[in-house]
Amino acid sequence: MSVKTAAIEVLRKAQSSLHAKAITEQIVAAGLWQPSGKTPEATVSAQLYSDIKKNGDKSPFVKVAHQTFALREPVCVATAATKDEPVPVKVGKKPSPPVVKTGLSFTTCAQKVLEQFGNKKPMHYRVITEKAIAGGWLQSSGKTPEATMYAQLITDIKRQQKRGERPRFVQHGRGYVGLSQWMRQGLAFQIEQHNEQIRKKLRERLMAMTPGEFEELVAELLAEMGFDMIEATRLSGDGGIDVRGTLVVGDVVRIKMAVQVKKWKLKNNIQAPVVQQVRGSLGAHEHGLIITTSDFSPGAAREAAQADKTPIALMNGEQLVVLLMEHDIGVRRIASDLFELDDETAPSEVVPLGDD
């Protein structure tokens, strides 16, 4: 019996929400599932969370609190969406995006143009695109490179905002864009300063977690990132693979991943032998990923990127914190309404006030 089917049985009998640990204990006690790892509650929590993330309202589960789940009513057990097997989908052809023939992305080109020609003043995205092409930095096969430029600038801003980072670009209305580094004061700067402190505190909190708690957090992050069939295999620090799962991209691409988690102190960087060990522990058709709270030595980075070997992805502590904040794990967003004047309603000329 699968973890999800067993969890449905337990939650149906309980008729209430249960913590992942309680669900796991009851599943094992009833003989519905036999875990192979030392942190089975992490596996249960990750798989239930992954099902919710993947299927939304069609999932039989609902998360009511941290690591706590209940059944959604009505319960649908046999729907295709709740099976472990992938559902075949037809993929239509999508128009190919413009191809950048140089090594510079649209956003990198925009930054170079603003730094060289902006004089600390915003520029229109059309002008930015023209200067990037004229400077030989950008060569696009698309018919509307300026539209692609603006879309990628907006996407870059939103992505960094979601991660709690200060975006490198700032919108100024009517298609004008500037660099945030020109703004060393104001609300945006204060928000970035606050978020930087939160990033530091979140990293400190990670270091204070037990190995089991840290694995549960990583498993939740992997589920949020699109991993499916996640299983925590063993406790951190024992030299083996800690989490296995399948990275699902658009319900089309499925990549088996073996993840090793290292909760190491800052400046205690991962060395090349650890990368070699992970590579040697990979199963057939598996890719490797090492996640650490510290960082990686240059030798480890070179070993991970060996062209003639199975690639090993690396995620350091800074990247881990950014992804946790992007997916609202370990933090909560505080939204406020901020109003500014709309440039679209600005008068074309200033009319002096009269006595009327």
pLDDT digits (tens, 9 = 90+) for 53-95: 878 778 888 887 777 888 876 444 443 344 444 444 444 444 4
pTM score: 0.56
Mean pLDDT taken over the chain? 80
pLDDT of residue 102: 46
pLDDT of residue 300: 94
Secondary structure E strands in 21-137: 61-65, 68-71, 123-124
CA distance 134 to 130: 6
How many DSSP H helices and E strands does the chain contain? 11, 11
**pLDDT (average), residues 189-208:** 86
CA distance 314 to 272: 12
Name the band, by pLDDT with cuts 50, 70 and 90, for residue 50: confident
Considering Cα of 102, then 106, then 112, then 116, what sign does the dihedral take? positive
